[in-house]
């Protein structure tokens, strides 16, 4: 693939990957960033910690310590959805249902006669 961004200078022989390439997806970059070790975490927390761990703790702390009930509830809901799974939504249908049973008579199907 040729360089679609002529203002970007690529090294000789390098090509820009296609847009559907998994290595270019935003979530891939987020995943990599979350797995990075927090600088000085060993000194600060007495253990090596990742940004993913820190973010999870911040989520839980906010749910518990928030002075705003609506904020706390939103965080609690997010935690419950992530740990227990989202509740299944029920669907209610109403109306009439009619069932037509075709009868096979040789070469084609014919509808039964209603008396």
Please write the tens of the pLDDT for every residue from 2-43: 545 556 666 666 666 565 566 567 888 899 999 999 999 889
Please give the model's pTM, rounded to 2 decimal places: 0.52
pLDDT score recorded for residue 56: 93
Q: Where would I find the H helices in the chain? A: 26-34, 41-45, 51-65, 69-84
Task: Give the pLDDT confidence score for residue 2 in this predicted structure.
Answer: 55
pLDDT one-digit tens code per residue, 38-83: 999 889 889 999 999 999 999 999 999 999 999 999 999 999 998 9
Indicate the burial class of 29 (C-beta count within 10 angstroms; 0-12, 13-18, 19 or more). exposed
pLDDT of residue 16: 60
Check residue 3 and give its pLDDT.
46
Helix, coil or strand: residue 103: strand
């Amino acid at each position: 693939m040729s360089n679609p961004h002529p203002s970007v200078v690529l090294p000789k022989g390098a090509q820009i990957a296609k847009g559907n390439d998994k290595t270019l997806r935003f979530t891939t970059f987020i995943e990599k960033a979350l797995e990075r070790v927090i600088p000085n975490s060993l000194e600060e927390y007495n253990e090596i910690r990742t940004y993913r761990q820190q973010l999870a703790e911040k989520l839980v702390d906010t749910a518990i310590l928030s002075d705003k009930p609506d904020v706390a509830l939103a965080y609690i809901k997010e935690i419950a959805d992530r740990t227990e799974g989202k509740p299944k939504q029920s669907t209610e249908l109403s109306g009439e249902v009619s069932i037509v049973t075709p009868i096979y008579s040789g070469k084609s199907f014919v509808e039964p006669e209603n008396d």
